Amino acid sequence: MSIVIPRELRPADGRFGSGPSKVRPEQLDLLRDLGTDVLGTSHRQEPVRALVREVRSSLHDFLGAPEDYEIVLGNGGSTLFWDVATFSLIRERSVHGVCGEFSSKFAAAVAAAPFLAEPVVTRSVPGEVDPLSAVPGADTYAYAQNETSTGAMQPVRRVTGADAGALMLVDATSGAGGLPVDLREADVYYFAPQKSFASDGGLWLAAMSPAALERTATISSSDRWIPPSLNLQTAVDNSRLDQTYNTPAVATLALMVSQLRWLQAGGGLDFAVARSAESSRRLYDWVEHTSYASAFVADPAARSRVVATVDFDDAIDAALLARTLRENGVVDTEPYRALKRNQLRIGMYPSVDPDDVSALTACIEYVVQRIA
C-alpha cells in the first residue's frame, strides 16, 4: 500500500456506497436471531409472512402513507419494477423526466414496448433536474426523486395541469427513507431495499394510491398480454396476504425489518431525513471551503442529501484518490462510470454516521496532499 491513512483519521465505518450501501452491524443481530427458525423456512407460513407483514405495516407508517395507500412488494428490484410498470401501469402514453442513467433506463423500457405509444421524454443536463410539464393525453408521469447516477434530487410533486386520473410514478430507489415525501403527491412511490433501508437488493417495494391500484386492476383484466411475473395485480394480491408471488430472499426481508425498527425507534422519517441532511451539510460545507473540490450539481437546492457528487480539479486524479481510500478501508466512493467525471460519489443514507462523513473529508485531505 503506497499511502497509509492514520487510523485516527479513518471513519469508524468506511462504507460510503450509493447502493448496496452500509448495513449497520447491529442489523445482523436479527438475522442471527432468525437464523435457525425463520431463515430456511417456507415463505407461505406464518414466520416469514410475519416479516412481510412487518415490512408492509412499518413502511406504511414510516412513509406517512395515507390510510388508503397500500404497500406492495415483489422480487426483482427497481429495474424489474420498470417492466412491471410498463406492462401493468401505463395505459397508453407516459411522460418521463430523464436526468441520468436510471431515469433513462425506464424511459427506454417503455419506448421499446410495442403496445404503448411513443413516450414523451424530457431530458435534463446531467446534474440538473427539470420538473415535468403536463402533456395533454398522457396517462402516466415518471421521474426519479433522487437520480443516483448524478447526485441530483427533486421534490415529489404532482405535475401541474396533468389530465385528471394521470398517475405519478416516482422512482424513489435512493430517495425513499432519506428524503422527505408527502405520498399524496405520488401514486406509485417505488424503491428497493439496498439504499436507505440498508438491506440487500433483489426486492421492489411500492406505496400505491387507490388510483394506481385501480389502474392496475383495469389493465390486468384487459386483453393486454402480461407476463405473469410482471403482472402487478398478482403482486398486489400476494402482498395483501403478506406473501410474494415467488420465493423472496428471507434474509433481505429480515435486514429490512431490523433497519425499519431502528429508523422508527429513532423517530421515523424525520429522524432519517435529519441524519442524511446532517451528513450532507458537513460534506457540502467541506466542499465549499476546499479549493480543489466543487459540487457537481450546480443548484444548491438540487444537491442530493443522500448521494453527493464531488468534482475534483484536474491536478487531482479522483480515480487514484478513490483507489487509495479503498486500500485504506474507505470504500465505494467511485463515481458512476457513465458520467465520466473526475469525481467522487458519496452515499450518505441514514445508516451513515455524520461523524464518519467528517472523517471521510479528513481522509480525502490526507490523500490529496500526497497525490496532488
Residue ranges for the known binding site are 44, 102, 148, 171, 194, 246-247
CB atoms within 10 A of CB 42: 11
Residues in contact with 112: Cβ distance below 8 Å, sequence separation at least 6, in sequence order = none
- Does 79 bind ligand PLP (CB under 6 A)? Our answer is yes
Restricted to residues 94-123, the positions that interact with ligand PLP (CB under 6 A) are 102
Stretch that binds ligand PLP, among 124-132, 167-175, 177-185, 249-257 (CB under 6 A): 167-175
Query: Which is closer to ligand PLP, CB of 174 or CB of 333?
Result: 174
Out of 174, 196, 252, 258, name the contact with ligand PLP by CB under 6 A.
174
Q: How many residues bind ligand PLP (CB under 6 A)?
A: 12
- Does 333 bind ligand PLP (CB under 6 A)? Our answer is no
Restricted to residues 4-63, the positions that interact with ligand PLP (CB under 6 A) are 19
Q: How far is the CB of 94 from ligand PLP (least distance, A)?
A: 16
Restricted to residues 128-147, the positions that interact with ligand PLP (CB under 6 A) are 144
Q: How far is the CB of 46 from ligand PLP (least distance, A)?
A: 28
Using the 8-state DSSP alphabet, how is residue 150 labeled? T
Residue in the block written with cell 421524454: 121
Please provide the DSSP assignment of 191-238 as one string.
E-TTSTT-S-SSEEEEEE-HHHHHHHHHHHTSS----GGG-HHHHHHH
State the cell numbers at 252.
433481505
Query: Which is closer to ligand PLP, CB of 173 or CB of 209?
Result: 173
Stretch that binds ligand PLP, among 73-81, 126-134, 180-188, 321-329 (CB under 6 A): 73-81
Burial degree of 45 (CB within 10 A; 0-12, 13-18, 19+): exposed
Query: Which is closer to ligand PLP, CB of 100 or CB of 286?
Result: 100
Annotated binding site for L-glutamate: 44
The helix (run of H) or strand (run of E) holding residue 109 is: helix 101-111
Restricted to residues 201-260, the positions that interact with ligand PLP (CB under 6 A) are 201
Query: Which is closer to ligand PLP, CB of 5 or CB of 192?
Result: 192
Cα–Cα distance, 211 to 198 (Å, whole number)? 30
CB atoms within 10 A of CB 237: 14
DSSP E strand stretches across the chain: 70-75, 94-98, 120-123, 140-144, 146-147, 152-153, 167-171, 188-191, 203-208, 293-295, 307-312, 343-347
Site residues for ligand PLP per CB under 6 A: 19, 77-79, 102, 144, 148, 171, 173-174, 192, 201
